[in-house]
């Protein structure tokens, strides 16, 4: 009986407290108050360390406000019709990053980003943003639009420099990318999917990455320089050529590529380090072309397999497997089997690190190369040369409007003219990498009979006619083929 009384009392007390609580909550709900803050407390979510070693709230807003006006939107236009449909061409390593460029009848357009690096209108972007463009337009942060001149390009690093005719522009300053650290906060600014002035944040995930996207080859082998800064800041098609900056607003790199199975952001973005970019910009402004020093060695990164096969005494570095012609390194005393472990005071842990460091130097520069040779370290002074084995300045190639056509013609025999029932003409002997091959469907063997309705009787006459044409002037080549005896017309601009 006592137990029942105790349970009953507990139930009553419980019910009473529940009713009281309900009444209190019910009373509170009648006057719910919502607080609004005039300002966004974004700086309270994390902290960073300033130059004085003090812990300060992390804040992206000031950096974004300072940097965004210096990042531009770039539109590239190609006149005419390409012989290749890039929408189905998988050979272009930038296709998924930059977006497929459809090839319909008439002009084609593509877009990207750029960074103003000088108040007088110099803008850095990627080479693949402006490559082969006939017209380059730049739209500033305040929507002013300008036609841009391509000052120079460097396919080996996928960097290009363009210029607009304007003064006192907001611009970014380069910072030493060597001093950046893995784990450091960075911002990526660009125009992904034509969404102007987009800012994303992330950290530096790795440095010195080589992803084999710059597949530029020459007679001397692959000449690409890849030592990317890897970041997890969201980068998408259209960010190409945009800025990667630190929290002080300093330019750390130029966003260039992504690693993605879909062509969109998947957590891996890559930027050309500012120390490479600044050297290229200085060369293009001062010399008109990149002045690149060459060590003259064939190398590969040291790994466990090479260590075992070659019985090496080090586990990192750049293994020297051979020497091409005009090798500065061989003349200085480097040997096959050496492992480059340091250049000057910079440790060399991979082949990408060596390529990056040498890529910042010009012909004639002296570097001290430290190698591990059978367990012993040697330091050898090397004077860098250019690709031709010289230490002088490389001059830019001069290519006039006629040379840019990539065309070689030859005279046609009288028997062929008689067979085709024509009185004159010159035959296209060879089509190189030029405007005609790019913008028209002309084939080798085409017999040109007229240039803009002017009859052509010889190679000399044909060359003189074209050399008189001004850049941008419309040219129409009329003629026929031996295997298709009817008239064809091919139009292009000089």
Return the active site residues: 128, 158, 240
Both structure tokens of 311: 């019985």
H/E stretch holding 271: strand 269-273
Report how far Cα 395 is from the mean position of its chain's Cα atoms. Answer: 23
Q: How far apart are the first and last CA of the chain?
A: 111
Burial of 1 (0-12, 13-18, 19+ CB in 10 A): exposed
- Are 137 and 146 contacting, i.e. CB atoms less than 8 angstroms apart? yes
DSSP element (H, E) containing 347: strand 346-347
> 278 to each of 63, 252, 292, how far by Cα in Å?
21, 10, 13
CA distance 382 to 329: 6
CB 93 within 8 A of CB 215: yes
- The values of phi and psi at residue 62, to 5°, are -65, -40
Hey, what are 127's tokens? 């080479």
Mapped onto helix, strand or coil, the DSSP state of residue 25 is helix
Which class for 185: exposed (0-12), middle (13-18), buried (19 or more C-beta within 10 A)?
A: middle
Closest-CA residue to 184 (of 245, 112, 261, 260): 245
Residue that is written with structure tokens 């940097």 in the block: 67
Cβ atoms of 425 and 447 closer than 8 Å: yes
Beta-carbon contacts of residue 138 (< 8 Å; ≥ 6 apart): 72, 73, 74, 114, 123, 145, 146, 147, 148, 162, 164
Cβ count near 402 (within 10 Å): 17
The count of other CB atoms within 10 Å of the CB of residue 462 is 21
CA 424, CA 449: separation in Å to the nearest integer?
6
Token output for 476: 């129409």
Q: In which residue are the tokens 């330019």 written?
A: 251
- Within 10 angstroms of residue 128's Cβ, the number of other Cβ atoms is 26
At residue 318, the 3 state secondary structure works out as strand
Helix (H, G, I), strand (E, B) or coil at 218: strand
């Amino acid at each position: 009986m006592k137990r029942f009384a105790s349970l009953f009392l507990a139930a009553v007390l419980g019910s009473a407290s529940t009713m009281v609580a309900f009444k209190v909550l019910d009373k509170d709900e009648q006057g719910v108050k919502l607080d609004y803050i005039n300002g966004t407390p974004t700086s309270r979510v994390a902290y960073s360390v300033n130059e004085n070693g003090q812990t300060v709230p992390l804040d992206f807003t000031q950096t974004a406000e300072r940097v965004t006006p210096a990042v531009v939107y770039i539109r590239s236009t190609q006149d005419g019709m390409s012989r290749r449909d890039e929408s189905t061409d998988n050979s272009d390593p930038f296709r998924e990053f930059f977006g497929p460029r459809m090839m319909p009848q008439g002009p084609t357009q593509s877009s990207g980003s750029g960074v103003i690096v000088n108040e007088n209108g110099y803008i850095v972007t990627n080479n693949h943003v402006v490559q082969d463009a006939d017209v380059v337009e730049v739209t500033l942060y305040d929507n002013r639009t300008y036609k841009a001149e391509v000052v120079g390009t460097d396919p080996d690093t996928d960097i290009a420099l363009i210029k607009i005719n304007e003064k006192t522009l907001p611009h970014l300053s380069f910072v030493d990318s060597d001093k950046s650290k893995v784990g450091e906060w960075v911002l990526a600014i660009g125009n992904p999917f034509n969404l102007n002035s987009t800012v994303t944040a992330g950290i530096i995930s790795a440095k010195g990455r080589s992803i084999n996207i710059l597949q530029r080859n020459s007679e001397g082998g692959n000449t690409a320089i890849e030592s990317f800064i890897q970041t997890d800041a969201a980068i998408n098609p259209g960010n190409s050529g945009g800025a990667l900056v630190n929290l002080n607003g300093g330019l750390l790199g130029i966003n260039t590529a992504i690693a993605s199975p879909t062509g969109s952001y998947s957590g891996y973005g890559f930027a050309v380090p500012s120390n490479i970019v600044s050297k290229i910009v200085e060369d293009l402004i001062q010399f008109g072309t990149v002045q690149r020093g060459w060590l003259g060695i064939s190398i590969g990164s040291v790994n466990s397999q090479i260590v075992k096969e070659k019985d090496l005494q080090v586990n990192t570095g750049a293994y020297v497997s051979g020497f091409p012609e005009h090798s500065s390194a061989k003349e200085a005393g480097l040997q096959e089997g050496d492992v480059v472990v340091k250049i000057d005071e910079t440790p060399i842990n991979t082949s990408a690190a060596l390529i990056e460091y040498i890529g910042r130097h010009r012909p004639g520069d002296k570097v001290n190369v430290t190698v591990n040779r059978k367990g012993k370290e040697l330091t050898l002074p090397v004077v860098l040369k250019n690709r031709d084995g010289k230490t002088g300045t490389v001059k830019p190639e001069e290519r006039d409007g006629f040379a840019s056509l990539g065309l070689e013609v030859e005279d046609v025999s009288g028997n062929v003219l008689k067979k085709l029932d024509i009185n004159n003409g010159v035959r296209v002997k060879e089509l190189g990498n030029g405007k005609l091959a790019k913008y028209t469907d002309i084939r080798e063997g085409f017999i040109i009979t007229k240039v803009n309705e002017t009859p052509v009787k010889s190679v000399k006459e044909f060359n003189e006619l074209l050399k008189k044409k001004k850049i941008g002037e419309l040219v129409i080549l009329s003629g026929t083929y031996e295997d298709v005896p009817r008239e064809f017309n091919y139009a292009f601009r000089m």
